[in-house]
């Protein structure tokens, strides 16, 4: 079963691409993301919960062409703002976000996200971060495939979707 079908089956709202939609990422950083995640990105225009407080970042988000209030790197931007220009803290923020791609965003209960690691050591692993220190993350699962399967578990589905 495709990722999109699994997410739809657990309660996510899916807007698929039309045939003429742009499906290429303009940001060269993302040329190093795992192939299964890239294929997933090319399969939808938006995926979100029913009240649009939890969503997957899309190609349009990464290309800066979405209409949402939150940018794909909003939590990085907030961290930088909250750092009050503390050089040591800015180094930590820069290092973290150069190694992680935020793939799922949430403002449902608090600001939080799931991010994919793109370093050699943890390539493809998914990490969970939340306010107030977005860069203080915990490992969530081993890869994108496992993440999609986790949504089928009632506890995970309840946490992210409220279902």
What are 78-98's pLDDT values in tens digits?
999 998 888 999 999 999 999
Domains within the chain, CATH numbers bracketed: 3-161 (3.40.1580.10)
Angle at 1 between CA 142 and CA 50, to 5 degrees: 80
Rounded mean pLDDT, 14-40? 74
The percentage of residues in the chain with a pLDDT greater than 90, rounded to a whole number, is: 66
Q: What is the Cα–Cα distance from 106 to 161, expressed in whole angstroms?
A: 10
- 8 A C-beta contact, residue 15 and residue 50: no
| CA atoms lying within 13 Å on the CB side of residue 143 | 11
């Amino acid at each position: 079963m495709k990722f999109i079908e699994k997410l739809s089956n657990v309660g996510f709202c899916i807007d698929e691409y039309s045939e003429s939609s742009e499906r290429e990422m303009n940001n060269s950083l993302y040329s190093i993301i795992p192939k299964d995640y890239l294929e997933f990105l090319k399969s939808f225009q938006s995926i979100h919960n029913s009240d649009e407080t939890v969503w997957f970042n899309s190609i349009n988000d990464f290309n800066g062409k979405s209409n949402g209030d939150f940018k794909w790197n909003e939590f990085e931007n907030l961290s930088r703002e909250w750092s009050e220009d503390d050089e040591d803290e800015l180094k930590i923020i820069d290092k973290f976000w150069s190694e992680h791609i935020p793939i799922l965003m949430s403002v449902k209960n608090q600001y939080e996200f799931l991010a994919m690691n793109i370093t050699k050591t943890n390539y493809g692993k998914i990490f969970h971060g939340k306010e107030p220190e977005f860069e203080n993350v915990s490992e969530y699962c081993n890869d994108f495939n496992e993440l999609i399967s986790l949504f089928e578990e009632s506890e995970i589905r309840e946490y992210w979707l409220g279902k």
